[in-house]
Amino acid sequence: MTIGLGLSQRETGILDSIPEPVVIVDNQRAVVAVNTAAGREIGVGYAGRALALSLRHPVALAAVDDVLSRGVSRSVEVTFRTPTQRTYAMLAAPLQSATGTASEGAVLVFHDVTSERRAQQMRADFVANASHELRSPLSAIVGFIETLRGPAKDDAAARARFLDVMAQEAARMTKLVEDLLSLSAIEADKHVAPQGKVEVARLLQRVTEALQGRAEARSVRMSVELRDAVPDVAGDADQLAQVFRNLIENAINYGRPDTDVRVTARAVDRVGETTRSGVAITVEDEGEGIAPDHIPRLTERFYRVDPGRSRKLGGTGLGLAIVKHILNRHRGRLSIASDVGRGSRFTVTLPAA
């Protein structure tokens, strides 16, 4: 309910209908009226008190003073830290008197910009991360070019070695650019439901065949098992292949040499909280596992438990972010379970076609 000094019931009702916090102060900066949203969201709930008692924010108070003394509108950003951190754009405008001459006070309207600010921050972090990831292989390549032009000019053995490293670094940059493009392509049509029907056995066979060389290089044995009759899933075959390529590649990379990577598929009655039936596909490794506090963050872009190790394996830290985005588009789920020291289990559930 609005609390206001000398407001009519109708005025009170109008203020309360405004979904954003509204505070009215007089020209002594005392609160004259507040609506329900102001009490609930920004903790300014009492009329008759000095504004500074409930809005302890110097920048906001200075802006209100400016409005009161100069009769101009001002807009500033105010961050409240409790109960959770939220940021508001506060617009303060002079309150015109009934005769329209002098200002009687100010009207403050608070617009919640928390999610906009968060999205801006995420974009900025993403650009900073991507630039950093591109810059390190690039500096390595530039360094080797200099060495090849100077000290190693006439050293055939060094030349061959440096060219190898340069090729590796260039391959890393290529993979990063491809992963970034792939992420933005998936995001661009995230609201377009995928067309098509995918046969699970064929899908898993195609992916494991492509990764056979990689598995052999690390002495990892891969197996695919279909428990009972598994229905086809609804989806885009190439994108789903990308999901399982990423998961199985991780299992091979982060598994231990001379162990097994097991892929199993089974029918399930429901996918997530939905009532749709589907298929659960599990990729299980016998690697060193993942500590519980890392698990919720694995699907963040560029998040890696051990960045040095991931880079050495040619990883960019985008694999699981791509998996998550593809699964969102497919209304699928990813769940991760791990026993430190024993291995990890990544389970994907997808709705049946």
**Residues of the shown chain interacting with ligand ATP in the complex, contacts defined by CB under 6 A:** 179, 246, 250-251, 254, 285, 287, 290, 298, 303-306, 310, 315-320, 344
Q: Which does 110 bind (CB under 5 to 8 A by kind): Mg ion, ligand ATP, none?
A: none
Rounded CA-CA distance 274/265 in Å is 19
Smallest distance from ligand ATP to CB 283, Å: 8
Q: Taking the CA atoms of 123, 125, 131 and 134 in sequence, report the sign of the dihedral they define.
A: negative
Task: Report the SS3 class of residue 298.
Answer: coil
Residue given tokens 């963050």 in the structure block? 297
Name the residue whose CB lies closest to Mg ion.
319
Smallest distance from ligand ATP to CB 261, Å: 9
Nearer to ligand ATP, 234 or 320 (CB): 320
Nearer to Mg ion, 36 or 250 (CB): 250
CB of 322 closer than 8 Å to CB of 299: no
Q: Which does 318 bind (CB under 5 to 8 A by kind): ligand ATP, Mg ion, none?
A: ligand ATP
Nearer to Mg ion, 289 or 319 (CB): 319
Smallest distance from Mg ion to CB 352, Å: 27
Compute CA distances 338 → 59, 130, 256, 282, 342, whole Å: 48, 28, 15, 12, 8
Nearer to ligand ATP, 194 or 287 (CB): 287
Token reading at 72: 């101009």
Nearer to Mg ion, 138 or 305 (CB): 305
| Helix, strand, coil share (%) of the chain residues, nearest 5 | 45, 25, 30
Question: What strands lie across the sheet with 333-339, from one edge to the other?
Answer: 221-226, 260-268, 278-284, 343-351, 333-339
Q: Which does 278 bind (CB under 5 to 8 A by kind): Mg ion, ligand ATP, none?
A: none
Smallest distance from ligand ATP to CB 346, Å: 7
Helices (H) and strands (E) in the chain, counts: 10, 13
Nearer to ligand ATP, 113 or 313 (CB): 313
Name the residue whose CB lies closest to ligand ATP.
319
Distance of CA 350 to the CA centre of its chain: 21
Q: Which residues bind Mg ion (CB under 5 A)?
A: 250, 319
Smallest distance from Mg ion to CB 136, Å: 18
Task: Report the SS3 class of residue 205.
Answer: helix
Nearer to Mg ion, 208 or 250 (CB): 250
Give the H/E segment covering residue 66: helix 58-70
Compute CA distances 84 → 8, 113, 317, whole Å: 34, 14, 30
CB of 264 closer than 8 Å to CB of 251: no
Rounded CA-CA distance 296/184 in Å is 22
Smallest distance from ligand ATP to CB 295, Å: 9
Nearer to ligand ATP, 109 or 220 (CB): 220
Q: Which does 282 bind (CB under 5 to 8 A by kind): ligand ATP, Mg ion, none?
A: none
Smallest distance from Mg ion to CB 151, Å: 37
Helices (H), the chain: 9-17, 36-37, 51-54, 58-70, 114-149, 156-188, 200-217, 237-254, 307-312, 319-329
Q: Which does 304 bind (CB under 5 to 8 A by kind): Mg ion, ligand ATP, none?
A: ligand ATP
Query: Which one-letter amino acid corresponds to residue 4?
Result: G
Residue 313 backbone phi and psi in degrees, to 5: -85, 5
Nearer to Mg ion, 159 or 175 (CB): 175
Q: Which does 239 bind (CB under 5 to 8 A by kind): Mg ion, ligand ATP, none?
A: none
CB of 351 closer than 8 Å to CB of 234: yes
Smallest distance from ligand ATP to CB 278, Å: 23
Smallest distance from ligand ATP to CB 232, Å: 26
